[in-house]
């Protein structure tokens, strides 16, 4: 905690006098059925819910980085765009209120996949798919930024542009491999002048440059072309290389055969000559095209990360594919056999594309790298837009990157990974406020006295009373987040938080737990993020995202939310399940944004009392360099 941090305590009376209890507004055309009540910020007991929560408030400077013009000349790091009068901006999607404060995004124009993240000579590097000319996809280049802490970023000139026949229609997604002798190799997909997807090599012009400003494309590119039987538009996104056996390195590339998603593997000794290996690393029928593959080891007995080449006892391998058909990231845990060059899932019923998601919300094309300095594996992901291209052109930008997350094996469940915001996020915290003894009646909503709630780090724990849980014979069997929102009341939920809400609750985004129980006594816990009332704008694709989260015997329910103006990232049970929402508030912006606790249970015994803490966090504003 910063030496300037402060602490204050809010009593139950403070909260009770701040606003009257209020029923959660119904969704438009929401069907009336019994689902759950909303609950508070922290600790929940279902017949006497104790809410104990931590809310970290993030305060920042101006979230809009300033571009630098040099005598009217165009800076590659700050592409030109037409200036749109504020009156022409779509509601809630202007540059000011839509831009984030501590998530990475370019100053202008379109961005998508994170590419080739790495650490080199004191700097973290992030490359990303970028259109320097427009806020919609096209003319794809590699943007480039660097950071000392994965939070505060400097924009650099473009790393690579489509200027050769082998990438003239786009410098597409790729990965970085750090060799033992210090070399850095970038493998990326180029879309050729004939629209054929090929794999190319690039490397730094000067390895002694910490910023890696100049990149050289191998003169004999491409180094891999679509093999026989693979369509020329179904061969893309090479992974980071891993050392195999007998002095060879291997990389995987996504593809498909009919509707079977596959991972092809190529072998090399020098990263300029590649040979296809027999068979495939893995294949799953019915999953369609696999793109943006990721393949990496996780230790089963440690919270450290591993270099991509590590294998052996005590190691599982994560295989992740981004499914082009539905734009979702799936992963599975399994075992890699380098002798047969095959990966086998631990549970075939939870295979890639049919089992676990990396993130159950608006999140795609994720990519990890091994941070050799802090011995951790760090994950990036692309958070796209859900408005329309016309609005993006008006506001002049599109998309952000998720907060980087560490990835570890869940040693308690043994069946999933755990994702958690990198520890550097916590350095933004300023001061702390604790809320004590908040009482929530069924169907009630209680405000927290946070004057500006657009930038928050919220932690909340919910302890469910076993007697109330056991006393419920059946509750919402077959429940699914996507079919029911937070306004529909149930026996064992929903309960949680309303974030990016205005005072009158015409706009709000509920993030909540919901418990369903079957007649055999088993139950499932869901973490959901409901966007239906997140914006008064009606030309937005608003969804209810979420999925199940494993909860072991004796565990209390917990969530952590990162709220940043138009982004809500939710981590349940320490990061076993993650849900990201991209929202477009028109009223709940800047000082008008609020946070509420809610309990939408319909049972009379669903009464709650809670404690809450608020941490204020520091500031961040990226700047251009070069």
- Residues designated as active site: 113
Count of C-beta atoms within a 10 Å radius of residue 202:
24
As a whole number of angstroms, the distance between CA 454 and CA 431 comes to: 16
As a whole number of angstroms, the distance between CA 319 and CA 176 comes to: 17
> DSSP assignment of 280-342, as one string?
-SEEETT---EEEEEEEEEESS-SS---TT--STTEEEEEEEEETTTTEEEEEEEEEETTTTE
As a whole number of angstroms, the distance between CA 268 and CA 184 comes to: 15
Q: What letter does residue 441 receive in the DSSP assignment? A: -
Residues present in the chain in total: 626
* Closest C-alpha among 484, 487, 478, 459 to residue 546: 484
- Going from the C-alpha of 505 to that of each of 23, 36, 598, the distances in angstroms are 10, 18, 12
Pairing of strands 405-409, 607-617: unpaired
- For residue 26, with 0-12 CB atoms within 10 Å meaning exposed, 13-18 middle and 19 or more buried, which class applies? middle
* Closest C-alpha among 415, 259, 396 to residue 334: 415
As a whole number of angstroms, the distance between CA 524 and CA 514 comes to: 8
As a whole number of angstroms, the distance between CA 584 and CA 591 comes to: 16
| The token pair that represents 593 in the structure block | 């944004």
* Closest C-alpha among 31, 51, 53, 32 to residue 43: 51
CB-based contact 128:114 (threshold 8 Å): yes
Buried-exposed string 482-520: b where 16+ CB fall within 10 A, e elsewhere: eebbbbbbbbbbbbbbbbbbbeebebbbbbbbbbbbeee
Q: Which residues contact residue 166 at a Cβ distance below 8 angstroms, ignoring those fewer than 6 apart?
A: 190, 192, 198, 200, 221, 222
CB-based contact 310:295 (threshold 8 Å): no
Name the β-bridge partners of 559: 460, 572
As a whole number of angstroms, the distance between CA 395 and CA 93 comes to: 6
| The token pair that represents 481 in the structure block | 């987040």
As a whole number of angstroms, the distance between CA 362 and CA 381 comes to: 10
Nearest 5°: the CA angle 426, 567, 619 is: 40
Longest dimension (CA), the chain: 73
């Amino acid at each position: 905690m910063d030496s300037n941090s402060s602490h204050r305590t809010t009593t139950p009376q403070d909260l009770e006098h701040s606003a009257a209890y209020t029923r959660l507004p119904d969704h438009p055309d929401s069907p009336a059925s019994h689902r759950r009540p909303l609950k508070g910020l922290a600790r929940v007991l279902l017949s006497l819910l104790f809410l104990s929560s931590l809310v970290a408030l993030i305060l920042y400077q101006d979230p809009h980085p300033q571009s630098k013009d040099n005598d009217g000349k165009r800076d590659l790091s700050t592409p030109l765009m037409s200036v749109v009068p504020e009156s022409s901006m779509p509601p809630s999607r202007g540059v000011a209120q839509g831009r984030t404060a501590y998530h990475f995004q370019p100053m202008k124009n379109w961005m998508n996949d994170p590419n080739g993240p790495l650490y080199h000579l004191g700097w973290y590097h992030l490359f990303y798919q970028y259109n320097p000319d427009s806020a919609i996809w096209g003319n794809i280049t590699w943007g480039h930024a660097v950071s000392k802490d994965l939070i505060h970023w400097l924009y650099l000139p473009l790393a690579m542009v489509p200027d050769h026949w082998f990438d003239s229609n786009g410098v597409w997604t790729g990965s970085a491999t750090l060799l033992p002798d210090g070399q850095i190799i970038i493998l990326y997909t180029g879309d050729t002048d004939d629209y054929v997807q090929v794999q190319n090599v690039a490397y730094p012009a000067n390895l002694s440059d910490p910023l890696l400003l100049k990149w050289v494309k191998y003169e004999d590119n491409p180094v891999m072309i679509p093999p026989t039987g693979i369509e020329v538009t179904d061969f893309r996104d090479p992974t980071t290389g891993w050392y195999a056996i007998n002095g060879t390195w291997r990389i995987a590339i996504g593809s498909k055969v009919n509707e079977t998603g596959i991972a092809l593997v190529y072998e090399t000794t020098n990263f300029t000559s590649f040979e296809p290996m027999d068979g495939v690393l893995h294949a799953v029928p019915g999953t369609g095209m696999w793109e943006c593959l990721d393949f990496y080891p996780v230790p089963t007995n440690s919270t450290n990360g591993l270099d991509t080449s590590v294998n052996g006892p005590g190691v599982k391998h994560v295989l992740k594919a981004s499914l082009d058909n539905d734009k979702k990231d799936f992963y599975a845990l399994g075992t890699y056999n380098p002798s047969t060059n095959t990966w086998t899932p631990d549970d075939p019923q939870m295979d890639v594309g049919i089992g676990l998601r990396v993130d159950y919300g608006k999140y795609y094309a994720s990519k990890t790298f091994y941070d050799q300095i802090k011995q951790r594996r760090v994950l990036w992901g692309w958070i796209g837009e859900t408005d329309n291209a016309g609005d993006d052109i008006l506001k002049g930008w599109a998309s952000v990157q998720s907060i980087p997350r560490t990835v570890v094996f869940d040693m308690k469940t043994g069946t999933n990974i755990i994702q958690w915001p990198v520890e550097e996020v916590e350095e933004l915290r300023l001061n702390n406020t604790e809320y004590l003894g908040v009482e929530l009646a069924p169907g009630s909503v209680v405000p927290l006295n946070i004057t500006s709630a657009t930038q928050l780090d919220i932690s909340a724990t919910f302890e469910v009373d076993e007697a109330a849980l056991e006393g419920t014979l059946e509750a919402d069997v077959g429940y699914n987040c996507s079919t029911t929102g937070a306004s529909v009341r149930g026996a064992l939920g929903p309960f949680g938080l309303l974030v990016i809400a205005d005072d009158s609750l015409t706009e709000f985004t509920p993030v909540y737990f919901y418990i369903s129980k079957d007649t055999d006594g088993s139950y499932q816990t869901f973490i959901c993020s409901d966007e239906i009332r997140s914006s008064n704008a009606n030309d937005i694709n608003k969804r209810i995202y979420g999925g199940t989260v494993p909860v072991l015997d004796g565990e209390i329910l917990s969530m952590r939310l990162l709220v940043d103006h138009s982004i809500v990232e939710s981590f349940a049970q320490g990061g076993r399940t993650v849900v990201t929402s991209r929202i477009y508030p028109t009223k709940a912006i800047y000082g008008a944004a609020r946070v509420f606790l809610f309990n939408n249970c319909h049972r009379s015994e669903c009464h709650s009392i809670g404690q809450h803490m608020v941490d204020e966090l520091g500031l961040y504003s990226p700047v251009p360099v070069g």
